[in-house]
Amino acid sequence: MADQKYETPLLDQLESGEWPSFVKEIKMAAETNQMANSLLGLLEQSYEERKGHWKHGGIVGVMGYGGGVIGRYTDLPEKYPDISHFHTMRVNQPAGWFYTAEALKQICDVWDRYGSGLTNMHGSTGDIILLGTRTENLEPAFNELTKLGFDLGGSGSAVRTPSCCCGMARCEWACYDTMALTYYITMRYQDELHRPAFPYKMKFKMSGCPNDCVASIARADISIIGTWRDEIQINQEEVRNYANNGVDIYKEIVLNCPGKCIEWNGNELKIDDSSCRHCMHCINVMPKALAPGKDRGATILVGSKAPIIEGALLSSVLVPFIKIEEPFDDLEIWELIDNMFDLWCEEGKNRERIGEFIQRVGLGNFIEAVGLPPMPEMIAHPRENPYIFYESFFEEEEE
């Protein structure tokens, strides 16, 4: 097979400029990989025509799993036979996206052998994305990956690959061990991750503090966000150092505090922790002077998602505070989560995310069914309309 060289005048324009160029990456891979070379030709055609040339496959995968492979076929197979199949493998990343050079090179070896030599580090859900392979290569690539200790991530109506911030590995604000909990959850739900049995996708994201570096409140069906419930730790000497080095404490800290609970007299910072909203702003601005309290744990929220179908949602509070400590087997949240899964599987519609399900049945009914008491922390404000469903009336009727 002669290597065809594609002219790519449009893509070439994306090689200039200082920002790293994906075109250079594809060209680098194309020097030795025919799939990457064909992708250049196809992509140039997309740029000319202003439209994509992919079809969605829904059947290919590895034996026994219902996810981890995204089937793709070009709609121009005669012109680009090398990428007539161009499936993606989602590989479950190590928690916190830490690697050794050795491990990365091993993954590269597998993908040079079986795929296009192109990757995404990483996909939106957090997986290592290995872009572009043929159906017959899926099983051998999977076998080599598992020998290296890597497994596929989730796709379809399943638990998706959980992800987290770097937490205690490199952050003084981590209020619980995000990486340990992420690993635990990933292992606990291996079956639910590989064998789709839910109405639709289910994402877990673990953030160590309210800065929420993995966007768990916007992108996870179950968001576990670190927080604390005692006093912010203050080093007054360091506060004064910040003040002397250009931080306008009144303007930047006091006025920006959502709980209006900080006072500054030019010498000492006072925080009324009973009104602290745990927003992180003062700590973010003066990391050497302030730190989250010592009684740390997490808030559990539920239900966020992107717009399709019923509109975008942010997660809302289910459990205002819970200690997240080893052994994780003993945490009370598993029973709650199992109850949520059971209810959603029983009553949820096809393609209905758990957040949409809660919108449909109402949070009040949802928490009642999963065994949680109503708590004011769960709402922004009580109802404004008087259309109250007085259940006691109906219960009396039944008696």
Partner 1 sequence: MSDQVQQRLTDIGPPHYSKFLPPIIKENYGKWKYHEIPRPGVLVHTAESGAKLYSVRAATPRLLSTNKIRMFAQLAEKYSNGYLRFTSRNNIEFLLTDPNNIDPLIEELTALGHVVGGTGNSISNMVHTQGWIHCHSAATDASGIVKAVMDQLIEHYKNMDLPAKIRIALACCLNMCGAVHCSDIAILGVHTRPPQINRELLPKQCEIPSVVASCPTAAIRPSTWDGKPSVEIDEDRCMYCANCYTVCPSLPLNDPDHDGLSIWVGGKVSNARTEPMFSKLAVPYIPNNPPRWPEVVDAVVNIIDVWRKYAHKHERVGEWINRIGWPKFFKLTGIEFRKEHIDDFKHAGLTYKRSVHLTY
Partner 2 sequence: MAEKVSVSEVADAMYKMIKDTMGIKKWKATDLQKASIELFGADRCDKQICKDAIKELINSGRAVYTYFGGSYIEIPHDEGAKNI
The contact set with partner 2 (CB under 8 A) reads 55-61, 63-67, 71, 73-74, 77, 84-85, 155-158, 191, 195-200, 345-346, 350-351
Nearer to partner 1, 243 or 370 (CB): 243
What's the CA gap between 174 and 209, in Å, rounded? 6
Measured CA distances, 13 to 10, 41, 354 (Å) = 6, 15, 44
Q: How far is the CB of 191 from partner 1 (least distance, A)?
A: 7
Nearer to partner 1, 187 or 345 (CB): 187
Nearer to partner 2, 153 or 208 (CB): 153
* Residue 157 binds: one of partner 1, partner 2, none (C-beta under 5 to 8 A by kind): partner 2
**Residues 6 or more apart from 157 whose CB is under 8 A from it?**
196, 197, 198, 199, 200, 201, 351
Nearer to partner 1, 93 or 344 (CB): 93
The closest of 331, 259, 337 to 297, measured between CA atoms, is 331
* Residue 288 binds: one of partner 1, partner 2, none (C-beta under 5 to 8 A by kind): partner 1
Give the other-Cβ count within 10 Å of 103's Cβ. Answer: 14
Q: Residue 114's beta-bridge partner residues?
A: none
* Residue 67 binds: one of partner 2, partner 1, none (C-beta under 5 to 8 A by kind): partner 2
**Residues 123 and 149: beta-carbon distance below 8 Å:** no
Q: How far is the CB of 239 from partner 1 (least distance, A)?
A: 13
Q: How far is the CB of 108 from partner 2 (least distance, A)?
A: 27
Q: How far is the CB of 242 from partner 1 (least distance, A)?
A: 12
* Residue 66 binds: one of partner 1, partner 2, none (C-beta under 5 to 8 A by kind): partner 2
DSSP string of 323-380? ---S-GGG-THHHHHHHHHHHHHHHPPTT--HHHHHHHH-HHHHHHHHT----GGG-S
Nearer to partner 1, 312 or 379 (CB): 312
Q: How far is the CB of 159 from partner 2 (least distance, A)?
A: 12
Q: How far is the CB of 199 from partner 1 (least distance, A)?
A: 13
- φ/ψ (deg, to 5) at 69: -125, 130
* Residue 61 binds: one of partner 2, partner 1, none (C-beta under 5 to 8 A by kind): partner 2
* Residue 38 binds: one of partner 1, partner 2, none (C-beta under 5 to 8 A by kind): none
- Element holding 89 (H helix, E strand): strand 88-91
Q: Residue 319's beta-bridge partner residues?
A: 300
* Residue 196 binds: one of partner 1, partner 2, none (C-beta under 5 to 8 A by kind): partner 2
Q: How far is the CB of 349 from partner 2 (least distance, A)?
A: 10
* Residue 197 binds: one of partner 2, partner 1, none (C-beta under 5 to 8 A by kind): partner 2
Burial of 335 (0-12, 13-18, 19+ CB in 10 A): exposed
- φ/ψ (deg, to 5) at 290: -125, 150
Q: How far is the CB of 9 from partner 1 (least distance, A)?
A: 9
Burial of 74 (0-12, 13-18, 19+ CB in 10 A): buried
